[in-house]
Structure 1
């Protein structure tokens, strides 16, 4: 994002934090920055998640960078959690340029940990989107890209449901697809980490990624024909 846009959203973040108080964290991510791993250009009340100016992206930021315009709708009023156990009511709002391209993200994280104790009295304030479920639980807000990569890898393992040692080729491709869709390979040295976990070479990793890309392009072509 250009300087004037960042300046505006920095002032907006400050204003929102002043309006909603010290329990509300406001984060601005620049998705046009050349330094993906330091996407935060403005933050208010960062002590809520432990992040600061210059820290790295969240899960949803990586997805946006990886999938681009596939993410056409803002994500509002969903649950997240911090590593120290805070429960947050979060919203993610995409910042677009004049051509509609996503260039940044405005994130709002309101700490509702204490409010949840009195949820029966303030249900309207703490209600979240209908697709949140107790079974899946809230997403974890990572403090840095190392933690974020760990979380994405854990999610992929949970989805596959078996350790790497007994994975078939198809399992490994699915594992890599999950990470790729989440934008994990935008993180420095993530490919090396995945190769070590799956006991595959870099050549094999790139071969699997090419297979995934070809399948996605084929599906997209069929969808256009339909």
Structure 2
């Protein structure tokens, strides 16, 4: 067997370091969830395997399980790579209607490379209802806000489908009804959200839109090579609450 080169050795050491960090955080996951009780869920992600990124979970706010996929929020963090920042105290709504306050804290190795995340999800549905009642009693009630819905699922396909559906819903169009600039905007939007970093996402997107895989790759290539247009700006405005 030939001796390994220094680059290979460094890569292996980096992988071992990341594994050690993840193992060390498993009891932290359990401890945080136990501290805050049944309204809290803590999820540990390994971004080296996006399709099954969940390596530890405690609590049941979003129904995640070990071996499950990352959410669209995780995809967005993954797309930003080492430039990703922590996302703290953002509010979303699950498909089941729960109002959830979350924080996503990126994990870095000794080279400052992002390789995972520790996510804390707190179900604030009842707190929000109590706030509404108290505001009504105090005479200070205002119209309800509508936080963005987020798909949390163990199946990466369901997350990709939800992103596609959300984009088409904002455009109030089917794929066939989109002109070319808006088709490119759709692929650019999915790309910026990290969808195509996931294995088989291009094939799934093509099947979902009813186009060939070759056509999907062409749209993606052209979207990456073409500057954003007004079609992108309209979509970004509607997505502002998610960032």
TM, length-normalised to structure 2: 0.74
Q: Which structure 1 residue ranges, 4+ long, deviate > 4 Å from structure 2?
A: 120-123
Structure 1 residues 142-178: Cα deviation after superposition (integer angstroms, max 9, x where no partner): 3421221121101221343322122112111111111
Cα distance, 1:166–1:3 mapped onto 2, change above 3 Å:
closer
Give the gaps of 5 or more residues in structure 2.
Answer: 1-14, 136-143, 228-243
State the Cα distance separating 1:136 from its structure 2 match.
5.1
Distance 1:182 1:122 in 2: 38
Q: Aligned ranges for residues 13-162 of structure 1 at < 5 Å?
A: 13-32=29-48, 35-45=49-59, 47-71=60-84, 73-119=85-131, 134-135=145-146, 137-162=148-173
CA RMSD of aligned residues (A): 2.3
Retained in 2: the 8 A contact 1:82–1:142?
Answer: no
Retained in 2: the 8 A contact 1:191–1:202?
Answer: yes
What residue number does 2:225 align with?
214
Structure 1 residues 57-79: Cα deviation after superposition (integer angstroms, max 9, x where no partner): 111211222231342x2111111
Number of residues paired by the alignment? 203
Give the gaps of 5 or more residues in structure 1.
Answer: 124-132, 217-226
Distance 2:94 2:154 in 1: 9
Which protein has the larger Cα radius of gyration, Structure 1 or Structure 2? Answer: 2
Distance 1:122 1:77 in 2: 22
Structure 1 residues 58-105: Cα deviation after superposition (integer angstroms, max 9, x where no partner): 11211222231342x211111122222211111111111122211110
Structure 1 residues 111-168: Cα deviation after superposition (integer angstroms, max 9, x where no partner): 1111112126899xxxxxxxxx935534343342122112110122134332212211
Retained in 2: the 8 A contact 1:172–1:198?
Answer: no
Cα distance, 1:151–1:75 mapped onto 2, change above 3 Å:
same
Q: Secondary structure at the match of 1:50?
A: coil
Q: Secondary structure at the match of 1:139?
A: coil
Q: Which moved more, 1:195-204 or 1:102-111?
A: 195-204
Cα distance, 1:121–1:99 mapped onto 2, change above 3 Å:
farther
Q: Secondary structure at the match of 1:52?
A: coil
TM, length-normalised to structure 1: 0.80
Retained in 2: the 8 A contact 1:115–1:122?
Answer: no
